[in-house]
Structure 1
Amino acid sequence: MAGILMVAAETGNINGLYASIKADPKVLDDIDDIPFVDTPLHIAASRGHTDFALEILRLKPSFGKKLNPDGLSSLHLALINDKFETVKRLIKFDKELIRVKGKKGANPLHLIAKKDNKVNQQQRVADRIDILAEFLFACPNSIEDLTIRDETALHIAVQSKNQKAVQVILGFICRIDKTRVLYYKDKEGKTALRMAEDTSQDVILSSLRRARATSSWTKEIVRSLCYAGALECSSPDPSLAEFLNSPERPSEVLYKLRIRVRRSVSMELRNMGLVVAVLIATATFQAVLSPPGGVGGPRNN
């Protein structure tokens, strides 16, 4: 009966799934008992049968964290086979799938951060960068996950000379106050910056140095800023990757300053009116940045 179930997974036949369960109610449990196996979820995800994959994941959540004999999860396989829509739907269902470590401790974020030398289509490259950004926003803590070589996704992006991925990762960690990732060292004691130096990647090296030089108090943001007008983008509906790959605007800095004040100032200091003073100062700063008529002053009619 497991064979019939696998055929159903290969074709995305949900009715076939339930026919297998009806014939053998323990069929999914029997598969789950095998430590390393290509589950129906692995098969469906690798072929892009999204609805079937989600149905299996709903019935058997443990399949999402199970590795096959090659040390890969279902999300790993969906990425490897460019089933990007399936990837997005799977992480929407369970964002923790992003942190499932496979062979050599690499999770799906590590995998998508690595430059694919087989990529020769501009759209495919853009799709992979968009998925990288989706992963970061869905599961921010995954940026600190390490492989067995103590590599972060940033290490891997630099090591594979994936300049676009580096830019997106730097934009992310600078905006959520995780710049400590810049100082993480791999098993050889190298930071991402040291890797870039050793391989003479001048553009990436410059980006890493700028990220290190950025003041830590300006490092906090929420995804909603992108859609709340805090950032001007080249399209009406900016992608997450475009957002992360753009410079921070003054309005973002002011927003983060307000958050930092609210979080760090004690109640006693608040009662003394210091918060009011800070808010007045930021409002004044905003007025200076955006005077009536723009930076050049009022326009003459």
Structure 2
Amino acid sequence: MVALVIAEHDNGSLKGSTHHTVTAAAQCGGDVHVLVAGSNCGAAAEAAAQIAGVSKVLVADAPYFADGLAENVAEQILAIAGSYSHILAPATAYGKNILPRVAAKLDVAQISEITKVDSPDTFERPIYAGNAIATVQSSDAVKVITVRGTGFDAAAATGGSAAVESIAAAADFGKSAFVGRELAKSDRPELTAAKIIVSGGRGMGSGDNFKLLEPLADKLGAAMGASRAAVDAGYVPNDWQVGQTGKIVAPMLYIAVGISGAIQHLAGMKDSKTIVAINKDPEAPIFSVADYGLVGDLFEVIPELVKELG
């Protein structure tokens, strides 16, 4: 058996999600190959070759792979899919955009957002907003899988010495084109990769009040997040949203401020190593998953906490 990991990258470097996916692929048994489909993506391919556990890196380099269009990347995967027993990608916007197309064209059932590999044909994945875990067994000849990164440790970025092989680029699919990209720029860590996250909820009261959390995040070197209620109210941008319909995170420390703890939010952060909840409602559901809870007025507690941190 040989597993193929679809690398998520920006042509110059790999995204951290790729390292988690390599770990899942290694647990499927057999060798692990990584496909880097991009444009002038040699640096990303070299980074992939250094990942511990990877035996080969395949590089498909063409201008129409530059922006990761699902149609083009899927065609490249399909061109080599016959050599693999498992095809895996991160359960990020990138992977979720590509693999359903691959699964459909291979006429197999995609296995989405796995959090554990029980055996080469059996996997665990959360359902019902994470309130239950389904064990899924597949008899398909090729298993097409997206991997929830929070369920697997990241493979070491160094220590590997995989061979790098250039392969023929599949033809441009030709029915889609990249138009533009709007990037949110921040000096803070990227939300899904941050080791510490400070999140605010509807209890913050307004977008301006989120500024109260900035000194705390600055002291801790943390990313900032939010609940869906805060995003829907227009307090903060969509890319801050943590939860089932937002980003799935598992930092070392998650501080939830003014967040009640709706099921969909808990689904996105309950795997955090340490959860601290600050809420004035002692009955708030967030306290059921918190390691440390503080009942109090956040507008008093947060400034005091920042002061104590020096």
Shorter chain as normaliser: what TM range? under 0.3
| TM-score relative to the length of structure 2 | 0.27
More helix by share: 1
Please say which structure displays the higher CA radius of gyration. Answer: 1
Which one has more relative contact order, counting CA pairs under 8 Å at least 6 apart? 2
